[in-house]
């Protein structure tokens, strides 16, 4: 039965790929040039293939293939350093508008997970889904104490669906990597591995709840960003219950203006939130597309962002932060040599990389960007072009930096939609420079000492013993060395070798002296 199910799925996938002429990806390889004429027998080649660009055809095919492929397409769209720009831009248009599964089935899943009837937990539960996505769907409910919440429920059998489709995607990736001459540029197997990891992470709603709690803690006393409260007593790996929030969807520009929201301040606050997460918290929401962002209109002059859906987050090391901050500063000073040196110093490029060659490659990419007005320069595009250049020099781009670049592109696009005249660099620069100042100087030195004091206080009592052991070992080594020296000196053969070595070195010295004297005289 499982075999026939997979066979049917494969037939359907192949039909959809043929329907949108995706077969040309493989048949376009030079290996298949002798049989490339086969595509002309595909009846859809003369209809769909003539009217649509390749990126649009791929997006439409993915939408037809179902929710897991839609999610995979969204993740692929973030890898603009690996896939062509036209395809990435089309895949970014994929929307998670997936038909919901029955609300009664959602109730059943909740009751099985919590071992209680929904009537015992909620005073009201709406079986009509508020929203439905590829991994889960959301229902409105009210707890017995009157608090309004939303209940996020994983789709039934979603793990089996993901396993099945990831296996199929990996099969296609292996075929593409074997037969396509372009595979070395976009690394299909690597992309599928990243898609699988992201999807499996999103299957654990307890993990998503933990992400939300951390973000909420970081912005607990801030009026910039509000994160809903998590009701941990009712959360399981397949169920997440959060505070229900009310706000204006950020993509509804007309409604925001009607509410009197200060659009320029809203855009500036979006940039501030992003760079605060990067440089203060080293932890950022990496799925900030417009569907996950709302705006509170309680104080229109000082609008507050409200964020939902925390399945994808990114975290940065201090090395990552320095890479981003110092590179951005150096880029805007057009100090390309510094950018090249930073890549090697941070360990992103091999130490034997030719700095002059890398510097020249960066200059060729960056100068056209800086010909634009400063307010039109995109940080995200800058990082993207940098990643693309660096790949030629064998840089290994870390997944967290790819997430960062994708999130930055999204934030920039959003803020330019809210306030087209906003100078993003002028808004972001103070946050970058503030972080850099905190990392150097006397204040930073004493802060690091203070941070390490607890560890040092634990190790201090053992210090005298360690010093004694080191001195004792040193003394033993000296005694052993002295004994071996005496033994060696008493050996006639060694004595004879030493005399010969002295004569040899003396001969070299005399020769060099005579050669130098001759050079001076003549």
- Residue 225's pLDDT band, with cuts at 50, 70 and 90, is very high
- The domain in which residue 90 lies consists of 2-98+159-201
190 and 332 both lie in a single domain: no
Q: What is the pLDDT of residue 464?
A: 65
SS3 content of the chain, % helix, strand, coil (to 5): 65, 10, 25
Domain end residue (candidates: 395, 423, 441): 441
Domain end residue (candidates: 389, 409, 441): 441
pLDDT above 90 for 251? no
Task: Give me 308's structure tokens.
Answer: 């939902």
The one catalytic residue in 23, 81, 287, 309 is 287
Q: pTM for the complete prediction?
A: 0.71
292 and 425 both lie in a single domain: yes
Within 8 A by CB and 6+ apart from 405, the residues are 78, 80, 81, 380, 383, 384, 387
321 and 420 both lie in a single domain: yes
Report how far Cα 494 is from the mean position of its chain's Cα atoms.
63
Q: What is the pLDDT of residue 307?
A: 93
192 and 327 both lie in a single domain: no
pLDDT winner (highest mean) among 144-148, 183-187, 314-318: 144-148
- Residue 186's pLDDT band, with cuts at 50, 70 and 90, is low
- Please give the average per-residue pLDDT across 493-514, as a whole number: 51
287 and 398 both lie in a single domain: yes
The DSSP string of 119-135 is HHHEEEE--S-SEE-SS
Domain end residue (candidates: 416, 441, 466): 441
Q: What are the pLDDT digits (tens) for 441-494? A: 555 556 666 666 666 566 666 656 666 566 666 666 766 666 556 555 555 555
Residues, the chain:
522
More confident residue, 117 or 47: 117
291 and 385 both lie in a single domain: yes
Query: Counting beta carbons within 10 angstroms of the beta carbon of residue 72, is it exposed (0 to 12), middle (13 to 18) or buried (19 or more)?
Result: buried
335 and 190 both lie in a single domain: no
Q: What is the pLDDT of residue 45?
A: 55
Residues forming beta bridges with residue 226, ordered by sequence position: 306
> ∠ CA 363-369-374 to the nearest 5 degrees?
125
Within 8 A by CB and 6+ apart from 431, the residues are 272, 275, 276, 279
Q: What are the pLDDT digits (tens) for 17-42? A: 776 766 555 555 555 455 454 555 55
188 and 55 both lie in a single domain: yes
* 118-122, 188-192, 417-421: least confident range: 188-192
For residue 452, tell me if it sits in a domain.
Answer: no
Count of structural domains within the chain: 2
- Residue 519's pLDDT band, with cuts at 50, 70 and 90, is very low
Report how far Cα 226 is from the mean position of its chain's Cα atoms.
23
More confident residue, 178 or 200: 200
60 and 183 both lie in a single domain: yes
197 and 263 both lie in a single domain: no
265 and 194 both lie in a single domain: no
Question: Does residue 287 have an active-site annotation?
Answer: yes
* 316-325, 328-337, 377-386, 467-476: least confident range: 467-476
Cβ(140)–Cβ(106) below 8 Å: no
Q: Which helix or strand (DSSP H or E) is residue 50 part of?
A: helix 48-51
């Amino acid at each position: 039965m499982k075999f026939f199910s997979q066979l049917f799925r494969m037939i359907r996938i192949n039909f959809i790929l043929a329907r949108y002429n995706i077969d040309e990806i493989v048949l376009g390889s030079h290996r298949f040039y002798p049989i490339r004429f086969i595509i002309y027998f595909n009846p859809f080649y003369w209809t769909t293939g003539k009217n649509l660009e390749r990126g649009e055809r791929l997006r439409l095919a993915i939408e037809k293939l179902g929710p897991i492929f839609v999610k995979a397409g969204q993740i692929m769209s973030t890898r603009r350093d690996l896939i062509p720009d036209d395809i990435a831009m089309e895949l970014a248009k994929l929307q998670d508008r997936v038909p919901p599964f029955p609300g009664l089935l959602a109730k059943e899943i909740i009751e099985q997970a919590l071992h209680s009837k929904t009537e015992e937990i909620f005073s009201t539960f709406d079986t009509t889904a508020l929203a439905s996505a590829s991994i889960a769907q959301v229902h409105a409910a009210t707890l017995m104490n009157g608090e309004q919440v939303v209940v996020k429920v994983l789709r039934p059998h979603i793990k089996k669906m993901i396993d099945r489709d990831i296996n199929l995607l990996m099969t296609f990736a292996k075929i593409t990597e074997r037969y396509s001459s372009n595979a070395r540029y976009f690394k299909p197997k690597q992309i599928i591995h990243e898609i699988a990891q992201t999807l499996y992470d999103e299957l654990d709603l307890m993990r998503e709840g933990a992400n939300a709690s951390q973000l909420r803690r970081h912005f607990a006393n801030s009026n910039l960003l509000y994160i809903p409260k998590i009701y941990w007593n009712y959360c399981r790996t397949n169920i997440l219950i959060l505070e229900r929030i009310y706000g204006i969807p950020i993509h509804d520009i007309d409604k925001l203006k009607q509410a009197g929201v200060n659009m320029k301040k809203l855009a500036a606050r979006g940039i501030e939130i992003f760079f605060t997460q990067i440089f203060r918290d080293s932890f950022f929401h990496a799925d900030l597309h417009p569907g996950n962002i709302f705006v509170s209109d309680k104080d229109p002059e000082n609008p507050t962002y409200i964020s939902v859906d925390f399945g994808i987050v990114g975290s940065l090391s201090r090395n990552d932060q320095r890479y981003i901050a110092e590179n951005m500063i150096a880029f805007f000073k057009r100090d390309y040599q510094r950018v090249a040196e930073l890549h090697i110093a941070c360990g992103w490029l091999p130490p034997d990389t030719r700095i002059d060659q890398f510097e020249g490659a960066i200059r060729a990419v960056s100068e056209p960007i800086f010909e634009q007005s400063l307010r039109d320069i995109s940080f995200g595009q800058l990082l993207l072009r940098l990643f693309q250049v660096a790949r030629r020099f064998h840089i290994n781009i870390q997944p967290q930096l790819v997430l960062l670049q994708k999130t930055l592109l999204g934030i920039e696009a959003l803020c330019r939609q809210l306030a087209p005249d906003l100078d993003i660099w002028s808004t972001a620069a103070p946050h970058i420079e503030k972080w850099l100042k905190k990392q150097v100087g006397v204040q930073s030195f004493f802060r690091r000492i203070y941070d390490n004091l607890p560890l040092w206080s634990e190790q201090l009592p053992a210090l005298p013993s360690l010093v004694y052991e080191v001195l004792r070992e040193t003394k033993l080594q000296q005694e052993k060395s002295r004994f071996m020296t005496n033994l060696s000196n008493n050996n006639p053969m060694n004595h004879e070798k030493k005399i010969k070595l002295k004569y040899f070195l003396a001969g070299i010295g005399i020769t060099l002296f005579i050669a130098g004297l001759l050079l001076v005289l003549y």
